[in-house]
A and B are shown apart, each in its own frame.
Chain A
Amino acid sequence: MTDTITQAAPIVPSFNDEGTDRKLAIICSKGSLDMAYPGLILGNAALGEGVEVHLFFTFWGFDMINKKTMGDLKFTPLGNTATHMPQGLGGIPGVTHMATSKLKKSLEELAIPTVPDFLEQIVASGGHLWACRLSADMNHLTAADLYDDVEGIISAADFIELTEGAQLLFI
Chain B
Amino acid sequence: MPTTTINGHEIHVDDEGFMTEYDEWTEDLGKVLASQIGIDMTDEHWQVIRFLREDFREQGETATVRRVQTAGGVPPKRLFQLFPQKPAKKMSYVAGLPKPHGCV
A residues apposed to B, CB below 8 Å: 1, 3, 5-7, 10-15, 17, 19, 41, 44-45, 48-50, 110-113, 118, 121, 124-126
Docked-complex contact A41 and B104, CB < 8 angstroms:
yes
Interchain CB contact under 8 A, B6 and A10: yes
Residues of B within 8 A of A41 (CB): 103-104
Contact A6 B5 (CB under 8 A): yes
Is there a chain A Cβ closer than 8 Å to B4's Cβ?
yes
A124: chain B residues at CB < 8 Å are: 75-77, 80
Instruction: Give the residues in chain A near B5, CB-CB below 8 Å.
Output: 1, 6-7, 10
Question: Helix, strand, loop or mixed for chain B's interface?
Answer: mixed
If the complex has contacts A7-B5, A121-B76, are A111 and B66 also in contact, measured as CB distance less than 8 A?
A: yes
What secondary structure prevails in chain A residues at the interface with B? loop
B48 lies within 8 A of chain A by Cβ: no
For B79, the closest partner residue in chain A by CB is: A125
Interface size classification for chain B = 20 to 34
Cα separation A112 to B86 with both chains bound (whole Å) = 20
A114 CB → nearest B CB, Å: 12
- Interchain CA distance A50-B84 in the complex, whole Å: 8
Known: A6-B3, A11-B2. A111 touches B70 (CB 8 A): yes
Q: Which of A1, A14, A125 contacts B65 (CB 8 A)?
A: A125
- List the 5 closest A-B pairs by CB distance, nearest first: A50-B85, A11-B17, A124-B76, A124-B77, A11-B4
Given contacts A6-B4, A10-B5, contact A112 B17 (CB under 8 A): no
Which residues of B sit under 8 angstroms from A49, Cβ to Cβ?
86
Contact A10 B66 (CB under 8 A): no
Q: Is the CB of B104 within 8 A of A111?
A: yes
Complex CA gap A121/B93 in Å reads 22
Name the distance in Å between B31's Cβ and chain A's nearest Cβ: 14
Q: Residue B103 contacts which of A3, A14, A19, A45 (CB distance < 8 angstroms)?
A: A45
Cβ of B60 under 8 Å from chain A: no
